[in-house]
């Protein structure tokens, strides 16, 4: 029995062979490019596309990154300036700023959102039929990343120096004041947080004046005042102060020096009717959080009366209190004629300023630091409408359903406040993740190909040879 006639392929013409040889390198490159593009899946482009759409869509509805701390409305004549380094690393700096400005419930909401995302991913894997032994190691690794990512981000936020957003004021008679700053003299401050570094931090944030209010110590304030410029407009002015207790609550006494401690402090609170060395009545700032039952108002004659109250405090507890008790603080300031102020409460752990106290002092740049302190406190003693507080724009999330939406709302709010250079940086960094994924995949393919080639070479070294009528293996 014979097979049918065999089919012989026709010979390729000589001219076609020559063209194929000439186009072979081009074809090879096209095939490589096609294979690389084929390797790109929807999962690879999802993040760059999402970032691009978010940045471009929010550009249609931009908003200022600053707002009035009282009305939560827009402000005029003020802006945030960003360095070139900040614009280059805009996604990282913006995300770190966003994390630094979250309240405590919002931090918890972010962690819960990450855990829910992990649970959804696990359910999707299970629905695809992947058994537990196959993906358990991958799942445990991802869960560790989900839990450690916020912690690592927080460590970077508080320990690693980075570019900062700086407040810019158009009005030359306005100056930005921080009534609550610390140095290494405070027990809970960064050990290397010297007066020089405090001045650099406030200069980078756009402050003109800052009060060093360490806990019961004046070492940092003494060093800071000694390095003040002769003119207030030449550099950031650091003034002395003290953070202590008044009826068990933390208050800041502005312009207080070591000379007043002997007759000002009595036990854990201030003495009624205190005076500074020059005879002035000091500005006493109630910090937040606080207990309204022990607030030193007009009805408590045995205590030194508070003349100002924080509505913005840069610490997580302060940010939480300023948002949750916003109406209560405003009612207290209105009823007792208290000046509203902002304090960074910076102990050296972080690179984000949350709020600034704006005070109008005509010609302040030509004053000496001592004269400027007197003029500042005279203005702040004017009561409720003597100052203006501006703050970084953050999501106003109070109820549980609102707090649950922290992640998407915070991302959209951050994207709406981006400048054009920052938007370009976000898009570039977003699409760079695609290149990174392609590079990692290519490296993995090359490593796998090398491993296969090595196995083939090992197998080729083993050949079968006859040994006395039997078969054996010889290397």
Closest CA to 380 of 118, 110, 245, 179: 179
Average pLDDT over residues 203-214: 96
Tens-digit pLDDT profile for residues 150-186: 888 889 988 888 999 999 999 999 999 999 999 999 9
pLDDT of residue 250: 84
What was the pLDDT predicted at 405? 93
- Look at residue 41 in the predicted model and tell me its pLDDT: 62
CA 355 to chain centre: 14
**Res. 140: pLDDT tops 70:** no
Q: Contact, 291 vs 328, CB < 8 A?
A: no
The DSSP 8-state label assigned to residue 184 in this structure reads T
Quick one: pLDDT band at residue 301, thresholds 50, 70, 90? very low
The answer on pLDDT for 195 being more than 90 is yes
* Confidence (pLDDT) at 20: 44
User: pLDDT class for 43, splitting at 50, 70, 90?
Assistant: low
Least Cα distance to 345 among 224, 213, 240 occurs for: 213
How much is the pLDDT for 263?
A: 60
| Rounded mean pLDDT, 68-72 | 95
pTM, whole model, 2 decimals? 0.81
More confident residue, 319 or 473: 319
DSSP state, 396?
-
Q: Give the lowest-confidence range in 106-115, 327-336, 341-350, 431-440.
A: 431-440
Reading the block at residue 119, the tokens are 């649970």
**Tokens encoding 52:** 């691009």
Pairwise CA distance, residues 234 & 292, whole Å: 40
pLDDT digit string (tens) for 229-266?
999 999 999 999 988 877 667 889 999 888 877 666 55
């Amino acid at each position: 029995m014979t097979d049918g006639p065999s089919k012989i392929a026709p010979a390729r013409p000589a001219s076609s062979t020559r063209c194929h040889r000439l186009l072979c390198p081009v074809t090879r490159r096209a095939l490589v490019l096609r294979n690389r593009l084929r390797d790109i899946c929807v999962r690879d482009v999802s993040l760059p596309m999402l970032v691009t759409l978010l940045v471009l869509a929010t550009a249609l509805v931009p908003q200022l990154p600053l707002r009035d701390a009282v009305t939560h409305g827009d402000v005029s004549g003020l802006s945030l300036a960003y360095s070139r380094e900040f614009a280059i690393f805009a996604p990282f700096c913006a995300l770190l700023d966003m994390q630094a400005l979250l309240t405590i419930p919002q931090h918890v909401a972010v962690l819960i959102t990450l855990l829910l995302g992990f649970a959804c991913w696990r359910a999707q894997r299970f629905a695809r039929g992947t058994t537990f032994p196959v993906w358990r190691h991958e799942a445990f690794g991802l869960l560790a990343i989900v839990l450690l990512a916020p912690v690592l981000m927080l460590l970077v936020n508080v320990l690693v120096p980075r570019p900062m957003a700086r407040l810019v004021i158009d009005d030359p008679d306005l100056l930005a004041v921080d009534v609550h700053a610390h140095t290494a003299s405070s027990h809970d401050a960064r050990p290397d947080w010297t007066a020089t570094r405090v001045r650099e931090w406030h200069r980078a944030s756009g402050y003109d004046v800052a009060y060093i209010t360490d806990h019961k110590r004046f070492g940092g304030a003494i060093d800071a005042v000694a390095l003040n410029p002769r003119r207030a407009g030449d550099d950031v002015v650091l003034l002395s102060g003290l953070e202590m207790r008044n009826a068990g609550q933390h208050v800041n006494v502005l312009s207080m020096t070591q000379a007043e401690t002997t007759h000002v402090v009595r036990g854990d609170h201030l003495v009624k009717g205190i005076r500074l060395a020059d005879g002035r009545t000091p500005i006493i700032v109630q910090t937040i959080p606080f207990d309204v039952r022990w607030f030193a108002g007009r009805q408590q004659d045995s205590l030194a009366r508070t003349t100002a109250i924080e509505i913005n405090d840069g610490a997580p507890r302060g940010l939480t209190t300023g948002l949750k008790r916003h109406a209560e603080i405003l009612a207290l300031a209105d009823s007792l004629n208290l000046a509203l102020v902002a304090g960074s409460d910076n102990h050296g752990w972080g690179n984000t300023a949350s709020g600034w106290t704006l005070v109008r002092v005509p010609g302040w740049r030509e004053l000496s630091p001592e004269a400027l302190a007197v003029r500042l406190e005279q203005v702040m003693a004017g009561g409720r409408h003597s100052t203006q507080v501006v703050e970084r724009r953050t999501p106003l999330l109070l109820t549980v359903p609102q707090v649950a939406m922290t992640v998407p709302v915070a991302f959209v709010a951050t994207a709406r406040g981006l400048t054009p250079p920052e938007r370009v940086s976000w898009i570039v960094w977003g699409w760079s993740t695609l290149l990174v994924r392609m590079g990692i995949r290519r490296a993995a393919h090359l490593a796998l190909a090398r491993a296969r080639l090595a196995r083939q070479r090992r197998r080729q070294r083993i050949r079968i040879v006859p040994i006395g009528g039997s078969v054996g293996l010889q290397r």
